[in-house]
Structure 1
Amino acid sequence: MDRQPHSPAREIIVANALRAVANELRLIDVADYVAFIRLESMASIADIVESASELYFMPGTLRLGHGCEAHVYWEGNPRIVLDLELRPGGCTVYCSLELSAENAAVEVNYVAFDDPSEDPEENSLYLEKALMAARIVKTERPLLMG
């Protein structure tokens, strides 16, 4: 896919939304990712992504896209790249999430809006609001004394 001219600004929005999910995904041992990718067990990786995302997003908001990559060499740190589809209400974000030992990075490839505005900044604001609406708000329960 061709990157859109407004992708860098939207990468910040998406990266902020995916920060907690990326931390969850980094809890999985890199050897498991490598094994699933090597054995082409995309369903297993899709389950991992779904499990991590259900803690932070409404069901169906985040899912594994068309693939993933493992970059493992004798020298250097391993990297796992997951193609993701982020679907908050009214738009779809096609992006890649790169996970390494200490970092995570997002690359937005394309954003499709159901009803786009002619103003790209308005579309970016819509994306940010849609992602906020798709998040699961965690509230602390009051302590019951009895």
Structure 2
Amino acid sequence: MKKEKHLPGILERERLIGDAVKSVAAELRLVDLDILARFIYLEQHANIADLVASSCEMFFKENTLIYGSRADIELKWGEIPNIVLDLEFHHQGVQVFFALALRPLVAAVDVHAISFEGDGHTPAQNTARLIAALDDARIGNDNRLAAAGIAVEAQRHQ
């Protein structure tokens, strides 16, 4: 999806979210691909939600980062599998709906929507609110297996 250039701060916000969830992405990559593929193919959303919750529990406060009840997998002969999970972040009046794409060595986020409770905030103030909400929701340390960064889906489409 190509991001509209007139949306203030969307690329920066995707980068912030990507950096916040890189440890979760690394944990999800530890799940056996056969099991995850089966859950996605059979639409076993409760099982996927459990996997996401257990991958989040060391890095985010409970119920701040959750599975958004949609998953997709691309499996083709001779190609690298691509898993996409919709996730939701809810904390301190900030709601983010985004897709997390998992590949063997890289992950990417693609933000679908961000909403902020309250009126009269500038885009810069809302970005600061997102930073504060992500910082407050996080617990523990980053996963050492997590990549140094996470790709922002929009950057590849410009």
Q: Which interval holds the TM-score relative to the shorter structure? A: 0.7 to 0.9
The residue number in structure 1 matching 2:17 is 14
Determine the C-alpha separation between the residues in 2 that align with 1:116 and 1:32. 44
- Give the letter aligned to residue 32 of structure 1: I
- Higher-Rg structure is 1
**Counterpart residue identity of residue 15, structure 1:** G
- Unmatched tracts of structure 2, length 5 or more: 142-158
Match for residue 45 of structure 1? 48
Q: Give the 4+ runs in structure 1 shifted more than 3 A.
A: none
Retained in 2: the 8 A contact 1:81–1:97?
A: yes
Once the two structures are overlaid, the 10-residue window that deviates more, 77-86 or 26-35, is: 26-35
Are 1:89 and 1:130, in contact at CA under 8 Å, matched by a contact in 2?
A: yes
Instruction: Check if 1:57 corresponds to 2:28.
Output: no
Q: Distance in 2 between matches of 1:116 and 1:129?
A: 17
Indicate the residue corresponding to 2:122 in structure 1. 119
Aligned counterpart, 2:34: 31
The one-letter code of the counterpart of 2:77 is: W
Residue 135 in 1 paired to residue 138 in 2?
yes
Does structure 1 conserve the Cα–Cα contact (< 8 Å) formed by 2:89 and 2:97?
A: yes
| Structure 2 residue identity aligned to 1:59 | E
When normalised by structure 1's length, the TM-score is 0.88
C-alpha root-mean-square deviation of aligned residues, in Å? 1.8
SS of aligned partner of 1:87: strand
Q: Which has the higher contact order (CA 8 A, sep 6+)?
A: 2
CA distance in 1: counterparts of 2:120 and 2:93, whole angstroms? 12
Give the structure 2 partner of residue 108 of structure 1.
Answer: 111
> How far is 1:9 from its partner?
1.2
**Code of the aligned partner of 1:126:** R
Match of 1:99 in 2: 102
Letter matched to residue 100 of structure 1: R
Unaligned runs of 5+ in 1: 139-146
Judged with a 3 Å threshold, the aligned counterparts in structure 2 of structure 1 residues 117 and 76 are, in CA distance, closer, same or farther, namely farther
1:69 corresponds to: 72
Identity of aligned pairs, percent? 36
Change (3 A) 1:71 1:116: farther
C-alpha contact (below 8 Å) 2:49/2:69 kept by paired residues: no
Alignment TM-score, normalising by the size of structure 2: 0.82
